């Protein structure tokens, strides 16, 4: 999209936009090597430690470290098309790992560090990951399932080798010291696989959405629109979203590096509103992607503009509905309008708002981002008229769209009606072309910006010795949009109690993640089911 001398009219911008996707393209070269060649000392990442210390990571460091890692992985037998898992919180090593994997022609598999051993194991098994980059915390989780991941032949820890936690784990930095900093990137095509991000569905386990190298170029218009025009001199980007999620990785980290904009890295053990404001002031953050739940939590900070000297010029938010109250608070707290956007892991950032362009309507997600064709369609795949409720869909071909679900050709086919990729979300478009989210036609739970599939939670719940049947649904919540509520039928030798409910909650929390465990547990005598054995979630949601 245009730079600081940008077009200031949305309709003109949308009409004039044309994709320029080269046949040969590599994300790693684009996000790192091109900048390092111009100025190796250019700032790429400002790593802020919890104690306030700062590490200034240059594009030169990013190039040399990624080259060393690419050589080290190649020496370990990792090659083109192999999946390499990244199980780490925000840190410079994460960016270096992504760049290295792309230059190697392998496939990056980001996994959120908050996941427990069961969730980690499933993703490693399903993807057939050959290598894993993690830390001591991750090694502790891996150790519990290491014997179930036979494809995993290379494990590297940024905290150093630790024989006690996981046999065969090598020290990341020690190994890189012995590797060459010279590496010629593999010549990849725009459609060649580059990354795979697991997305939750309504039934069964999560699916791996496989993306080509073009996915970054496809994200750029949507990543730039909330911060339009982007980039500008002095821009510096931060997000509290984990870089393992599509939002943190493709809405913030990679688009910023593509433009040579420094990214702030800061790990929060638990999100703290005052620490977030203090970080934005200390790190001189100019641009931010802050999910709605984090924004709601930041409302607890007293007089932020009076206490913290932050100088934000743009904020984007997405992942769940922002709402009028949060929008109005944001205007007061930050002095700028928060721009909302919409998408999903399979096809992200396709609808957006931009106050700079006058593209803003309270309660709406915005209009189609330039370059994307979006509509509300009926069951027959035909676009509906303005005001009619239907499914939000995106027309192919589209460079931001996923290649396929990993190992699931039928699920991939079912995602489309003709040339329309269905989102599973119900919406409506008004007479002015603004899209409004109505609800989901699947059972995905949206909590704190995460899309959570009940299948994975239920699979974990029934592993508890007291549980006979289990179902998970979303219960409306003013802070998190929804919380996970579990309905459980106990085995005959067990009786309902608060102690048992707490035990079951802890069981899921330690095995999956802190955002997936049921914050409420209800014991029921019978599970409502169809004649074919499917849980009638609608009835459970009515009870929630």
pLDDT tens for each residue of 494-537: 999 999 999 999 999 999 888 889 999 999 999 887 544 567 88
Q: Answer yes or no: is 328 within a domain.
A: no
Q: To which H or E segment does residue 339 belong?
A: strand 338-344
Q: Answer yes or no: is 351 within a domain.
A: no
* Residue 409 contacts residue 384 (beta carbons within 8 Å): no
Lowest mean per-residue pLDDT among 3-12, 111-120, 266-275, 513-522: 3-12
Q: Answer yes or no: is 144 within a domain.
A: yes
Other CB atoms closer than 10 Å to residue 485's CB: what's the count? 21
Q: Answer yes or no: is 514 within a domain.
A: yes
Length of the chain equals 544
Across the chain, mean pLDDT equals 93
Among 157, 173, 195, give the residue marking a domain's end.
195
Q: Answer yes or no: is 179 within a domain.
A: yes
d(CA 203, CA 26) in angstroms, rounded, equals 34
Q: What is the mean pLDDT of residues 334-341?
A: 96
d(CA 51, CA 69) in angstroms, rounded, equals 28
Q: Is pLDDT above 80 for 251?
A: yes
Among 145, 160, 195, give the residue marking a domain's end.
195
Q: Please tell me the total count of domains within the chain.
A: 2
Q: Is pLDDT above 90 for 1?
A: no
pLDDT tens digit string along 296-308? 888 888 899 999 9
Q: Answer yes or no: is 491 within a domain.
A: yes
What is the DSSP annotation of 390-449? EEEEEESS-TTB-SEETT-HHHHHHTEETTEEEEEEEEEE-TTS-EEEEEESS--EEETT
Q: Give residue 78's pLDDT band: very low, low, confident or very high (50, 70, 90).
A: very high
CATH number at residue 450: 3.30.300.30
Q: Is pLDDT above 60 for 166?
A: no
DSSP 368: E
Among 165, 195, 225, give the residue marking a domain's end.
195
Q: Which of 429, 398, 432 is nearest to 415 (CA)?
A: 398
Q: Is pLDDT above 50 for 49?
A: yes
What is the model's pTM? 0.88
Q: What is the mean pLDDT of residues 53-65?
A: 98
Q: Answer yes or no: is 221 within a domain.
A: no
Q: Answer yes or no: is 352 within a domain.
A: no
Q: Give residue 202's pLDDT band: very low, low, confident or very high (50, 70, 90).
A: very low
229 preceded by a cis bond (ω within 30 of 0): yes
Q: Give residue 450's pLDDT band: very low, low, confident or very high (50, 70, 90).
A: confident
Q: Whole domain around residue 69: which residue ranges?
A: 26-195
Q: Is pLDDT above 80 for 278?
A: yes
CATH number at residue 56: 3.40.50.12780
397 preceded by a cis bond (ω within 30 of 0): yes
Q: Is pLDDT above 80 for 267?
A: yes
């Amino acid at each position: 999209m245009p730079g600081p001398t940008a077009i200031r009219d949305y309709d003109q911008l949308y009409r004039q936009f044309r994709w320029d996707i080269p046949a040969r393209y590599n994300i790693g070269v684009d996000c790192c090597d091109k900048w390092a060649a111009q100025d190796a000392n250019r700032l790429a990442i400002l790593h802020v430690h919890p104690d306030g210390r700062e590490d200034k990571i240059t594009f030169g460091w990013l190039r040399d470290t990624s080259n060393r890692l690419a050589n080290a992985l190649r020496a370990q037998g990792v090659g083109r098309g192999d999946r390499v898992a990244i199980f780490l919180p925000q840190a410079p090593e994460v960016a270096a790992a992504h760049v290295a994997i792309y230059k190697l022609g392998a496939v990056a598999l980001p996994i959120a560090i908050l996941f427990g051993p069961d969730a980690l194991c499933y993703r490693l098994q399903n993807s057939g990951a050959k290598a894993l980059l993690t830390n001591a915390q991750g090694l502790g989780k891996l150790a519990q399932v290491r014997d179930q991941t036979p494809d995993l032949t290379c494990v590297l820890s940024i905290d150093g080798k630790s024989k006690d936690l996981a046999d065969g784990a090598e020290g990341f930095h020690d190994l890189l010291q012995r590797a060459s900093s010279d590496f010629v990137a593999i010549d990849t095509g725009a459609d060649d696989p580059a990354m795979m991000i697991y997305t939750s569905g309504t039934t069964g386990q999560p699916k791996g959405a496989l993306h080509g190298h073009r996915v970054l170029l496809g994200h750029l218009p949507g990543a730039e629109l909330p911060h339009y025009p982007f980039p500008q001199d002095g821009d510096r980007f931060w997000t509290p979203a984990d870089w393992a999620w599509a939002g943190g990785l493709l809405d913030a980290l990679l688009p910023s590096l593509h433009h040579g904009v420094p990214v702030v890295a800061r790990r929060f053990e638990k999100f703290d509103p005052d620490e977030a404001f203090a970080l934005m002031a200390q790190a001189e953050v100019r641009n931010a992607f802050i999910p709605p739940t984090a924004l709601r939590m930041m409302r607890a900070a007293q007089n932020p503009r009076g206490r913290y000297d932050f100088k934000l010029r743009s904020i984007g938010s997405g992942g769940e509905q922002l709402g009028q109250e949060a929008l109005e608070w944001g205007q007061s707290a930050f002095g700028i309008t928060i721009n909302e956007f919409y998408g999903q892991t399979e096809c992200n950032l396709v609808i957006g708002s931009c106050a700079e362009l006058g593209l803003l309507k309270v309660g709406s997600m915005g209009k189609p981002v330039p370059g994307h064709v979006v509509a509300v369609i009926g069951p027959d795949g035909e676009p509906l008229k303005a005001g009619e409720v239907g499914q939000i869909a995106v027309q192919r071909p589209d460079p931001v769209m996923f290649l396929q679900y990993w190992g699931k050709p039928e699920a991939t086919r079912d995602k489309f009606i003709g040339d329309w990729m269905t989102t599973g979300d119900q919406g409506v478009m008004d007479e002015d072309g603004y899209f409004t989210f109505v609800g989901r036609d699947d059972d995905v739970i949206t909590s704190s910006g995460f899309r959570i599939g009940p299948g994975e939670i239920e699979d974990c719940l029934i592993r508890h010795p007291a549980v006979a049947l289990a179902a998970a649904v979303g219960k409306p919540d003013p802070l998190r949009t929804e919380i996970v509520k579990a309905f459980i039928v106990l085995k005959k030798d067990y009786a309902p109690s608060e102690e048992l409910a707490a035990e079951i909650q802890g069981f899921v929390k330690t095995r999956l993640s802190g955002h997936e465990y049921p914050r409420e547990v209800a014991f029921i005598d019978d599970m409502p089911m169809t004649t074919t054995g499917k849980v009638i979630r609608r009835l459970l949601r009515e009870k929630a």
